[in-house]
Amino acid sequence: MAAVAAGVSPAVAAGGGVGVTPIRLGMASYTFRNFPRTQVIAWMKELRLDHLNCKDAKDHLPSTSVEAEEAAIADYKAAGIMLTGAGNIAFAKDEDADVRAKFEYCKRAGIGVIVCDPEVVVLPRLERFVKEYDVRLAIHNHGPEHKVFKSPLDVLKAVKGMDPRVGCCIDVGHTMRAGTDVVEAIRAVGPRLYDVHMKDLAQKNVRESQVAVGQGLMPVREIFQALMKLQYKGYVDLEYEIFPENPMPGVIESFGYMRGVLAGMKG
């Protein structure tokens, strides 16, 4: 077992004493984008996490070759880490070859949720591949800067009438910045919700105001309550984007807070 991080109690490092809850916490590997896979695995062990939403950053889950990807998959398996999602993956080309290569990349890793940022024109093709591969597509909203998918509500409009496996990854920070109520967005997306990226903001419309979860304005308890009411089966993945050269203090604080909230909701 990895050593407990400085300033963190063994209970928090081991899961915060939460026990079994309906909310499953995971990590978005983008949090550790400046660090190699060996360090990601070491930190996952220190945090007592075994669910990772993996991005093609550094050598986390390489897309450069099948051999490099398989080496990463083997390392995670040996460490007892389950890859729950991949992304964010861009689908900019409305071409079978490009789409199939990315679906095969996820299939090799045993990943059933593809977090993505597609061009709208590619959506019909993606729906066809979702049916063929029987995976879930979670379109990630990116806030007011995005040309289409600012809010989860924009995703809902785009996928209306499509296969139910085509849905949404709600990034709560970008949702707040888009002026959309996060809890209402969860309720609206409902059964099409396949992933959640968790973060917090000190100012609701300022991207640069991100803080550790629990320090800002994000209604974390209400988010968890809405997910529980929805009987959400996916993961709440911490995506801590600040301090990329020294993320662990904020990551530890964020998980400590989320686990504390969940502990207070038991029963």
- Report mean pLDDT in 10-residue bins for the chain, 267 residues: 33 41 93 98 97 96 97 98 96 98 98 97 98 98 96 98 98 98 98 98 96 98 97 97 98 98 86
Closest C-alpha among 201, 205, 172 to residue 189: 172
Q: Distance between CA atoms of 189 and 177, rounded to whole angstroms?
A: 18
Q: Are 35 and 240 in contact (CB under 8 A)?
A: no
Kindly indicate whether the domain formed by 23-265 is annotated with CATH number 3.20.20.150.
yes
Q: Find, among 46, 51, 34, 42, the residue nearest to 6 by Cα.
A: 46
Of 134, 144, 93, the C-alpha closest to 111 is 134
Q: What pLDDT is recorded for position 16?
A: 39
pLDDT of residue 13: 35
The confidence score (pLDDT) of residue 220 equals 98
Domain boundaries, the chain: 23-265
Residue 6 pLDDT: 32
pLDDT, residue 20, reads: 57
Q: Would you state the pLDDT for residue 22?
A: 85
Angle, vertex CA 86, rays to CA 107 and CA 88, nearest 5: 135
Residue 266 has what pLDDT? 78
